[in-house]
Amino acid sequence: MPWPYRALPERDLDAVDLSTTFLGRRLSAPVLVGAMTGGAERAGRINFNLARAAGRLGLGMMLGSQRVMLERPEARATFAVRDVAPDILLVGNLGAAQFGLGYGPAEATRAVREIGADALAIHVNPLQEALQPGGDTRWAGLAARLAEVVPALDFPAVLKEVGHGLDAATLRAVAGAGFAAYDVAGAGGTSWARVEQLVHRGEVLSPDLCDLGVPTAQALRDARQAAPHVPLIASGGIRTGLDAARALALGAQVVAVARPLLEPALESSEAAEAWLENFVRELRVALFVGGYGGVEEVRGSQP
């Protein structure tokens, strides 16, 4: 997608307004740390470093799956990032498949309340589960189940994919559930299905299946049409501030970045902060030279 260029932007770089509001919280830029589970030992370090970085920069954070925390209460400490980031937009996370296997509003509420989150992302990952030995493969009736659970929650719920994209038929199927936002998590970035195959089998047995899905830009366009009034998170392969600018132009409210933050997060909160700071600076420059005064002006400007 070509990006406009203005040789005379007629405004100061610092005057480009990146601030926005999402799920009731003010953000200094439309950027969220993406959801990542980290395994028992590393999860705490990853979450704390990312939360500290998000807090210092005024960005939001989506946590990785909290299933482990609901099943083993001692794991809760690894998600308790409110101590280091009291004011960030914090989004909890559970898998949709669990809601077909006994989870309900009570589990969703525990996940959010026990860590002081603002909202809950429910991830749909049928491809990943189907390729994973012992994965959850019972997906019949889940749209109806989500339509029972989500309206019973007294906090916002976000429907999210994990790197293969939310498609228009899925968005139509959950239209009545009342999700507060959709994270399209399209194909083209990390294939979590591929990651899981590598982790569980030590090799990728089905590489063509691992790369299936709706590419992020297409998913944004489809979601805009299928659900024009539901705010969108753009994720899946968002790697630079220019990628973020393009996603906003396609109608996203905010963007989320997962995999590129893993190494910095394992290193330190300063490394994660430096990565995010550069990303936000790139976004600012992209809007500046594109002739946009801010996030509200660029959002949805491309068909």
Is 66 marked within a binding site?
Answer: yes
User: Beta strand pairing status for 20-22 and 25-27?
Assistant: antiparallel
6 is in an annotated binding site: no
Contact 95, 122 (CB under 8 A): yes
Does the annotation place 297 within a ligand binding site? Answer: no
- From 109-117, 155-163, 225-233, 283-291, give the range in contact with ligand FMN by CB under 6 A: 155-163
The least distance separating ligand FMN from the CB of residue 269, rounded to whole angstroms, comes to 18
- Contact pattern from residue 202 through residue 221 relative to ligand FMN, giving x for each residue in contact according to CB under 6 A and a dash for the rest: --------------------
246 is in an annotated binding site: no
Q: Is 302 in the site for ligand FMN (CB under 6 A)?
A: no
Q: Which residues pair with 61 in a beta bridge?
A: 33, 90
Helix, strand, coil proportions of the chain in percent (round to 5)?
Answer: 50, 15, 40
Question: Among 60, 84, 49, which residue's Cα sits nearest to residue 267?
Answer: 49
Residue 49 touching ligand FMN (CB under 6 A): no
Q: Which C-beta is closer to ligand FMN: that of 143 or that of 195?
A: 195
- Which residues, in sequence order, are bridge partners of residue 26? 21
Does 253 contact ligand FMN by CB under 6 A?
no
Which range touches ligand FMN (CB under 6 A), out of 71-79, 106-114, 235-243, 276-284?
235-243
Element (H, E) at 218: helix 216-226
Interface residue with ligand FMN among 20, 47, 65, 132 (CB under 6 A) is 65
The DSSP symbol for 34 reads P
Closest CA relative to residue 151, chosen from 131, 118, 173, 176: 176
Q: From residue 279, give the alpha-carbon distance in Å to each of 81, 141, 233, 259.
A: 23, 40, 16, 14
Tell me which of 30, 236, 241, 290 binds ligand FMN, using CB under 6 A: 236
Q: Which of 237, 241, 251, 290 binds ligand FMN (CB under 6 A)?
A: 237
Residue 190 as a binder of ligand FMN (CB under 6 A): the answer is yes
**Amino acid occupying residue 120:** L
- Residue 167 near residue 219, CB atoms below 8 Å: yes
128 marked as binding residue: yes
What is the spatial distance between Cα 46 and Cα 163, in angstroms, rounded to a whole number? 20
For residues 211 and 134, give the distance between their C-alpha atoms in angstroms, rounded to a whole number.
20
- Size of residue set near ligand FMN by CB under 6 A: 25
CB of 7 to ligand FMN, least distance (A): 32
Binding to ligand FMN (CB under 6 A) within 106-125 occurs at: 121, 123
Which residue ranges make up the site for ligand FMN (CB under 6 A)?
Answer: 34-37, 64-65, 93, 121, 123, 160, 162-163, 185, 189-190, 192, 195, 235-238, 257-259, 262
Question: Can you say which residues are annotated as belonging to the binding site for Mg(2+)?
Answer: 129
